[in-house]
Chains A and B, each alone.
Chain A
């Protein structure tokens, strides 16, 4: 028996392909939405991996440094280094801000780190590591900065000496790494007018400016211009110790919050991007319904256009299941064309997205199954219409 569906598709392939392309673009958008979510999850994991830490020590009762603001003193790491199981401990700061380069700006997460310690970018794709103590930067390629370019962070200019890749915040902002001291200053540095105003306010305070205590005002003013805060301390655990046991000791003795890799991943994925995931889930659901409606409408319209032929087929003895099979195969064929176009489209346009889009084969396979099921369900309307056709309508005009 010949394939009626196959022949019909070949006969009107232009219509099929155009419809399939339309559907495919919709499927491509759906795959991309899934890829955006996967990219966010992957970015979070890469962020944690590239930080090189086993434990994140942050301000007590906070979920910092990525999910909430956290501020701890920058000498805390010394105490941590003395604890059993701690091999390395280093201060880091994180601040999302606008980094200027000439006339344009890039929204970036500025990371302050100590060279050679946890928090340093794991690898470079170009350039070198920081060698000077100030005013050098390593930027993620997504910032668009080039080696040797000068960028402005707050009041100072930095030269880009290295480029790294896949170093973005949980919000997708590319990272710019600068020395810790510079980052602390950048995070808390006030402009000149604010400093002058603060000094005047301090001088006007009789408690801080006592005539009988020379040098007090100068000491208070000096303390206000120096910052000793960082956002977190990254800890590397020594061989033979587990991150959980060391984190437990830090929580117990240091009155700080300490998160292991698993806990930090939980915060990033289950809490920080949970709303985005739900948002994407809603989009996926809507796109699925829209795709189903489009397939149902197209197949139904195509079937209505063949009512006379279907009546003739039934009159000359074609079984209902042959006719139903023809419509079902056409719907599945349309879905297959749509899926192929969608997969190709998503693969082509994913790199152009500002945030990382991760297209996983498993997601594509799941999408193929969903597309086929949706197409099969969508064809039922058309099959119903075809099976209702009375063969008698072929006779008598």
Chain B
């Protein structure tokens, strides 16, 4: 059983014939539950394509993906294991975006509680779960506020809470510190590490951010669609 994330020989080709572009070429990754790894690479290297494949929003051309011990995609066995990719994303994958992209017309609690509600949990249970997460992320005092009333750092913490709301085995974070200053960026990484450890969630952080790259213990470099794993500095975050 492979918990966390396990990717084997993942490839993605856009187009056909002479115009075909191989965005991912035989990518292999393995991230354990509770681990936070960085995915680093220049623009056009394939980071976003890899994230979209992992996020079940585009279909890889070849390979195998396992999330939380469950094979979700295997090209040798017909591709996606479930036809309901929407439910797969909702229940088993958390997303953190470059901008928080909170729903502006919902308050902080409901932004977080929306996911469990979409999964069919009762409103009261969902809100209790949301408040627990907000407490853990130290933004419970803003529970009734609208996203527009929060600072950038608070918004990003709420988006982390939303990603954790359905207790997914995997969180995909797409440049989550891009709009933040050094102090807040490092605070977000610290929180991600805490949450990964506390909820045993595997987290992939796609980033360009030089401030946070030294904090990862493991980093996957991606270039021209291929990944290379290397040990990170794993610097302590003050």
Q: Which residue on A lies nearest to B54, using beta carbons?
A: A395
- Please tell me if the beta carbons of A392 and B105 are within 8 angstroms of each other in the complex: no
Q: Interface segment, A48-56, A312-320, A355-363?
A: A312-320
Q: Interface segment, A2-10, A202-210, A283-291?
A: A2-10
- Please tell me if the beta carbons of B52 and A396 are within 8 angstroms of each other in the complex: yes
- Please tell me if the beta carbons of A308 and B52 are within 8 angstroms of each other in the complex: no
Residues in B with CB closer than 8 Å to A1 are 117-118, 123
Instruction: Tell which of B89, B103, B105, B114 touches A315, judged by Cβ atoms closer than 8 Å.
Output: B89
B62 to chain A, nearest CB (A): 19
- Please tell me if the beta carbons of A395 and B114 are within 8 angstroms of each other in the complex: no
Residues in B with CB closer than 8 Å to A2 are 106, 110, 113-114, 117, 123
In the assembled complex, the Cα of A322 lies from the Cα of B114 at a distance in Å of 12
User: Hey, what's the 0/1 contact readout for B11-50 against A, CB within 8 Å counting as 1?
Assistant: 0000000000000000000000000000000000001100
Q: Which residue on B lies nearest to A397, using beta carbons?
A: B98
Q: Which of A190-220 contact B (CB under 8 A)?
A: none
CB-CB under 8 A for A308 and B98, given A2-B110, A396-B51, A396-B52: no
> A223 at the A/B interface (Cβ < 8 Å)?
no
CB-CB under 8 A for A316 and B48, given A308-B101, A395-B55: no
Instruction: Tell which of B57, B87, B104, B172 touches A392, judged by Cβ atoms closer than 8 Å.
Output: B57
CB-CB under 8 A for A395 and B97, given A2-B117, A317-B89: yes
Instruction: Tell which of B52, B90, B106, B123 touches A395, judged by Cβ atoms closer than 8 Å.
Output: B52
Q: Which of B84-119 contact A (CB under 8 A)?
A: 86-87, 89-91, 95, 97-98, 101, 103-106, 110, 113-115, 117-119
Q: Which of A338-397 contact B (CB under 8 A)?
A: 390-392, 394-397
CB-CB under 8 A for A317 and B86, given A1-B118, A7-B106, A396-B48: yes
Q: Which residue on A lies nearest to B162, using beta carbons?
A: A316
Instruction: Tell which of B58, B90, B146 touches A317, judged by Cβ atoms closer than 8 Å.
Output: B90
CB-CB under 8 A for A395 and B103, given A2-B110, A317-B87, A317-B89: no
- Please tell me if the beta carbons of B105 and A8 are within 8 angstroms of each other in the complex: yes
> B174 at the A/B interface (Cβ < 8 Å)?
yes
> A241 at the A/B interface (Cβ < 8 Å)?
no
- Please tell me if the beta carbons of B110 and A395 are within 8 angstroms of each other in the complex: no
Residues in A with CB closer than 8 Å to B103 are 4, 309, 312-313
A388 to chain B, nearest CB (A): 15
Instruction: Count B-side interface residues using an 8 Å CB cutoff.
Output: 33
Which of A314, A316, A318, A391 has its CB near the most chain B CB atoms (within 10 A)? A316
- Please tell me if the beta carbons of A392 and B58 are within 8 angstroms of each other in the complex: yes
Q: Which of A284-317 contact B (CB under 8 A)?
A: 308-309, 312-317
A351 to chain B, nearest CB (A): 40
- Please tell me if the beta carbons of A318 and B118 are within 8 angstroms of each other in the complex: yes
Q: Which residue on A lies nearest to B48, using beta carbons?
A: A396
- Please tell me if the beta carbons of A317 and B91 are within 8 angstroms of each other in the complex: yes
Give the interface of A toward B (CB within 8 A). 1-2, 4, 7-8, 10-12, 308-309, 312-319, 322, 390-392, 394-397
* Pairs across A and B, CB under 8 Å, 9 listed: A308-B101, A312-B95, A312-B97, A313-B103, A315-B55, A316-B89, A317-B86, A319-B86, A394-B95
Give the interface of B toward A (CB within 8 A). 47-48, 51-52, 55, 57-58, 86-87, 89-91, 95, 97-98, 101, 103-106, 110, 113-115, 117-119, 123, 146, 162, 172, 174-175
**Top 6 closest A-B pairs, CB basis?**
A317-B90, A11-B105, A396-B48, A392-B57, A8-B105, A312-B101
